[in-house]
Structure 1
Amino acid sequence: MSQPDRGEVRVERRGIELVPSAARYGRPRDLLFLWAGTTTTVFTVVYGATVVALGLSLVQAVMVIVIGNLLAYPLLGLTSVQGPTTGTTTLTISRAALGPRGGRVLGVFAWVTLVGFEAGGLVLIVFAVLALLTRAGAPTGTTTSVLVILVMAGIQLLLPLFGHALMMRAQKYFTVIFAVLFAVMAALVLPQVDLAAGTGHASLATCTVAVALVMSGGGLSWAPAGANFSRYLPGDTSAVRVACSAALGGFVPYVLLMVLGAATASITLDVADPISGLPRVLPGWFVVPYLVLAAVSLLVQNSTNLYSSGLNLQAAGVRVSRVGMVFVDTALCVVITYLAVVGQSFYTMLNAFLGLLVIWLAPWVAVYLTDWWLRRGRYDLDSLADPEGGRYRGAAGFGVPGLVAQAVGMVAAALWVSSSTYVGPLAHLTGDADLSIPAGLVTSAFLYWSLSRRTPDVPPIGRPARA
């Protein structure tokens, strides 16, 4: 009998196919380190500053940060539970509700989302490295920018290229290092915070916009990647421990670093620019360590994005190996990063991207988790692995109840979104409040439940994870 794979470090060839029992390893707490290392980045500090930039007082900002993350990160925990049970990725499991062809459509959405985050991270990495070169007296210009983009893109693909085992191992060490350096940063910044500053009282509508920003930049956007990393855990792993480890791993650093960003914004709102703005509140001796921290932490975060986005593109039906997907994503990120760095349009692109992200994410999470609940956590593994869908084939490869619920939920979310680039008609009627996430969640969950609860395909089969 073969022995379980304990996660030896080598180039991972496995894509969305089921992970066999012999290749399972690890414990739920590994997910805590993975998500803590992934979310402990400068981006998180920026999100906190952006909340204050919307016009919230520091007290309001802290409340919004806590509430938004309390609502978002349990979603990541719940979408991680199915990994040990099925041994496959989140978007592959989503075929049970959407059908194999319908799942491909949402796979494209998920892939585009992660490519957006990858490109955003790579842009800031390049800005940080260019700032370091400037401080060292090195010449900068278009040629230097292009070289930095290519070198950083090459570095960031290493972890996802080697795959799950190396990423899980590396995140344990990065989490500790990042936590120490951000603690030093907090000790340097917090004494400068003016608690009386920013005492303006934002409206309830503005607070809903801030909550949507917190959720879309954190746990909600990570939810489609939940099972991608828990799928290597043994099949009898506790579902409760999986959910709690994933949720807490993201929630704790997100709250702490977002609060740090919000507090720093009381000193200077330029903290929204993490490379040229935020260092102004730091002592000179810490600027270089900070820029190194910014670059390395974002490289680690991008490795998680790159790993998952390649799997999502396979779920979308693109027949390229997982290794090939990493190179495809990297090449695309290089092009987007070049356009953003040379065109100086990064922050405009980022705000538009985050503001509209929830339109597909909230309905998808609702359909995915409602389907999981209806099946009581059980799936037909042969059907999930079958490109034609098996018992999940639906109508010509489309899961009609899931796709209808997804589409109607997206309309509901779009009607109530309130972003810098688009305000829905229902948002206009409620003072520009952003209720897109609850609208998408409730609409899609109720509609999918209504359409699916009498469907013959709903009765569960297989074995659930042990609670």
Structure 2
Amino acid sequence: MTDSQGSIERRGIDLVPESARYGKPRDLMFLWAGTTTTVFTVVYGAFVVALGLSFAQSVVVIIIGNLLAYPLLGLASVQGPRTGTTTLTISRSSYGPRGGRILGVFAWLTLVGFEAGGLILVVFAALTLLDGAGIAASTPVQILTIVVLAGVQLLLPLFGHSVMMRAQKYFSAIFALAFLVMAILVLPKVELSSTDGSGASASTMIVGIALIMASGGLSWAPAGSNFSRYLPVGSSKRAVGTYAAVGGFLPYVLLQILGAATASITLDVADPISGLPAVLPAWFVVPYLVLAMVSLLVQNSTNLYSSGLNLQTAGIKVSRVTMVVIDTVICAVITYIAVVGQSFYDLLNAFLSLLVIWLAPWVAIYVTDWLMRRGRYDLPSLASETGGRYWGRGGYRLSGLVAQAVGMVVAALWVNTTTYVGPLATLTGGADLSIPAGIAVAALLYWLLARREHEQAQPSPKQTEGAH
């Protein structure tokens, strides 16, 4: 069951024993830095400019959005060493073992979306390289490219946590150096005087902040303890939370600002891969595209690893390895549809905006539950799917499920996307307040309901039969 060098890890959501713990909290900084130091992060910065914001406004939005989002990843990481299990398994204390399966499905769909987005960009980069080599992007070439690259991205997450931690540590340094070169080439071309005009409205800036939060710390939060669970039990909670948050925050801010700067000096931000290199010197285009492919494949390895764990939490009884394969196949299909179909930015806008509907209430309930319990969990009950302290009624805890449902309704009423604008967002001039509204309502309601909900150990069906 241990994750040794070069072996395929088979551990799923089962508790990591103390004998299998290793590493230090600072290792999380390298993991999250490697995960977020990708071209996808640059694309998010360009996306903010595509909303109509000036460069100066984009910088403000990027900084505020990440300052609000990445502490959530830190808070969702501190429970890992204490419990030895995944974030959504810990959520069973709020929703019940069976209620938690609903969140597992939501989290799985979220990561599949990010995996597909990453693979789409990898394929765009590969097709651009092939086009430069004189190979036209015909349908057979597109299909072959997707199949080959999907197979490549499948490999790293199969080897599990230990290999991924080492890979992220080394790749993050390589990627940081390459993006530094890109910044040196791009930033001198940014003309602040021409990009600091009236820009977009305050409501559009709020939409941008919501999208930045959704693209980063908020969407990574359900994976927080998936990686910190391997740290020793006595690891400092402050160190775990700080290193996880900082490891993601710094690359996101720097690379998103780089993306915004790049987009502000090119007329075409509709194509994030073959469009943005138009502002780069010819000698750097090929290295840029290769970097895009490698960095995105490494990032997707983290998504694929957590995605399989989330599907196990949803009650799907197959191995994590099988789940990684299933995810890869789904991503390949979505990638083909996207490559030959709709605008990448329209798809990204709709995806990021809609996923906060479940993420905002969930993170509020998760953190509130942790604070109410003062960080103490009954580990056998977290691991059990047939009984235990968190069983509730038939495996469902109404306090978490009701707070989640109401929080999602409130968030949906205040969301603003290219495909849907909630009525409350319309009343506030288009401002997207789905995240703060969903968090506030879900946290308050869960706190009120959980205080009243009677919690006691419930026997499993097998235990009840044995008593007879």
TM-score w.r.t. the length of structure 2 is: 0.95
Deviation, 1:45, is: 1.1
Deviation, 1:133, is: 1.1
Question: Counterpart of 2:336?
Answer: 338
Q: Secondary structure of 1:353's partner?
A: helix
Q: 1:343 to 1:201 in 2, by over 3 A?
A: closer
CA distance in 1, matches of 2:80, 2:293: 31
User: Which of residues 57, 60, 63 in structure 1 aligns to 2:60?
Assistant: 63
Q: Assess if the C-alpha contact under 8 Å between 2:399 and 2:453 holds in 1.
A: no
Deviation, 1:80, is: 0.4
Q: Assess if the C-alpha contact under 8 Å between 1:93 and 1:384 holds in 2.
A: yes
Deviation, 1:335, is: 1.0
The answer to whether 1:123 aligns with 2:137 is: no
The answer to whether 1:370 aligns with 2:371 is: no
CA distance in 2, matches of 1:361, 1:353: 12
Question: Counterpart of 2:47?
Answer: 50
User: Which of residues 200, 213, 216 in structure 2 aligns to 1:215?
Assistant: 213
The 5 Å alignment of 1:80-159 reads 80-159=77-156
Structure 2 unaligned segments of length 5 or more: list them: 458-468
Q: Assess if the C-alpha contact under 8 Å between 2:105 and 2:311 holds in 1.
A: yes
Q: Secondary structure of 1:264's partner?
A: helix
CA distance in 2, matches of 1:132, 1:391: 56
Q: 1:19 to 1:58 in 2, by over 3 A?
A: same
Deviation, 1:334, is: 1.0
Deviation, 1:269, is: 4.6
Question: Counterpart of 1:412?
Answer: 410
The answer to whether 1:193 aligns with 2:193 is: no
CA distance in 2, matches of 1:420, 1:181: 33
Question: Counterpart of 2:251?
Answer: 253
Deviations 1:96-122 (A, max 9, x none): 000011100010000000000101110
Q: 1:437 to 1:138 in 2, by over 3 A?
A: same
Deviation, 1:5, is: 6.3
Q: Assess if the C-alpha contact under 8 Å between 1:208 and 1:434 holds in 2.
A: yes
CA distance in 1, matches of 2:252, 2:45: 9
After TM superposition, the structure 1 stretch with the greater mean CA deviation from structure 2, 272-281 or 90-99, is 272-281
Q: Secondary structure of 1:390's partner?
A: coil
Deviation, 1:261, is: 1.1
Question: Counterpart of 2:167?
Answer: 170
Deviations 1:208-244 (A, max 9, x none): 1010010001110000000001010011100000000
User: Which of residues 67, 70, 78 in structure 2 aligns to 1:73?
Assistant: 70
CA distance in 2, matches of 1:246, 1:93: 18
CA distance in 1, matches of 2:2, 2:349: 42
Question: Counterpart of 1:205?
Answer: 203
The one-letter code sitting in structure 2 at the alignment partner of 1:340 is A
Deviation, 1:456, is: 3.9
Deviation, 1:457, is: 2.8
CA distance in 1, matches of 2:393, 2:306: 28
CA distance in 2, matches of 1:127, 1:252: 26
CA distance in 2, matches of 1:371, 1:9: 38
Q: 1:279 to 1:370 in 2, by over 3 A?
A: same
The one-letter code sitting in structure 1 at the alignment partner of 2:143 is V
Question: Counterpart of 1:462?
Answer: none
CA distance in 1, matches of 2:16, 2:232: 10
CA distance in 1, matches of 2:141, 2:287: 22
Deviation, 1:55, is: 2.2
Question: Counterpart of 1:242?
Answer: 240
Runs of 4+ more than 6 Å apart = none
CA distance in 2, matches of 1:97, 1:458: 13
The answer to whether 1:37 aligns with 2:22 is: no
Identity %: 71
User: Which of residues 173, 179, 193 in structure 1 aligns to 2:176?
Assistant: 179
Q: Secondary structure of 1:320's partner?
A: coil
Q: 1:422 to 1:381 in 2, by over 3 A?
A: same
CA distance in 1, matches of 2:387, 2:359: 23
Question: Counterpart of 1:312?
Answer: 310
The one-letter code sitting in structure 1 at the alignment partner of 2:160 is G
User: Which of residues 291, 295, 298 in structure 1 aligns to 2:296?
Assistant: 298
Deviation, 1:409, is: 0.3
RMSD (Å), alpha carbons: 1.5
TM-score w.r.t. the length of structure 1 is: 0.95
CA distance in 2, matches of 1:348, 1:56: 16
Deviations 1:342-389 (A, max 9, x none): 234533322211121110000000011100110000100000111124
CA distance in 2, matches of 1:458, 1:407: 24
Question: Counterpart of 2:7?
Answer: 10
Deviation, 1:130, is: 1.0
User: Which of residues 287, 290, 298 in structure 2 aligns to 1:289?
Assistant: 287
Q: Secondary structure of 1:443's partner?
A: helix
The 5 Å alignment of 1:219-234 reads 219-234=217-232
The one-letter code sitting in structure 1 at the alignment partner of 2:130 is L
The one-letter code sitting in structure 1 at the alignment partner of 2:278 is R
CA distance in 1, matches of 2:256, 2:267: 14
Q: 1:150 to 1:307 in 2, by over 3 A?
A: same
After TM superposition, the structure 1 stretch with the greater mean CA deviation from structure 2, 171-180 or 199-208, is 199-208
CA distance in 2, matches of 1:389, 1:406: 22
CA distance in 2, matches of 1:154, 1:208: 39
Q: Assess if the C-alpha contact under 8 Å between 1:197 and 1:266 holds in 2.
A: no
Q: Assess if the C-alpha contact under 8 Å between 1:261 and 1:271 holds in 2.
A: no
CA distance in 2, matches of 1:312, 1:58: 37
The answer to whether 1:26 aligns with 2:19 is: no
Q: 1:289 to 1:313 in 2, by over 3 A?
A: same
Q: 1:106 to 1:188 in 2, by over 3 A?
A: same
CA distance in 2, matches of 1:55, 1:143: 37
Question: Counterpart of 1:354?
Answer: 352
The one-letter code sitting in structure 1 at the alignment partner of 2:183 is A
Q: Assess if the C-alpha contact under 8 Å between 2:47 and 2:345 holds in 1.
A: no
Matched pairs, number? 456
The one-letter code sitting in structure 2 at the alignment partner of 1:182 is F
Q: Assess if the C-alpha contact under 8 Å between 2:58 and 2:260 holds in 1.
A: yes
The one-letter code sitting in structure 2 at the alignment partner of 1:370 is T
Q: Assess if the C-alpha contact under 8 Å between 2:84 and 2:230 holds in 1.
A: yes
CA distance in 2, matches of 1:301, 1:336: 18
CA distance in 2, matches of 1:272, 1:401: 44
Q: Secondary structure of 1:26's partner?
A: coil
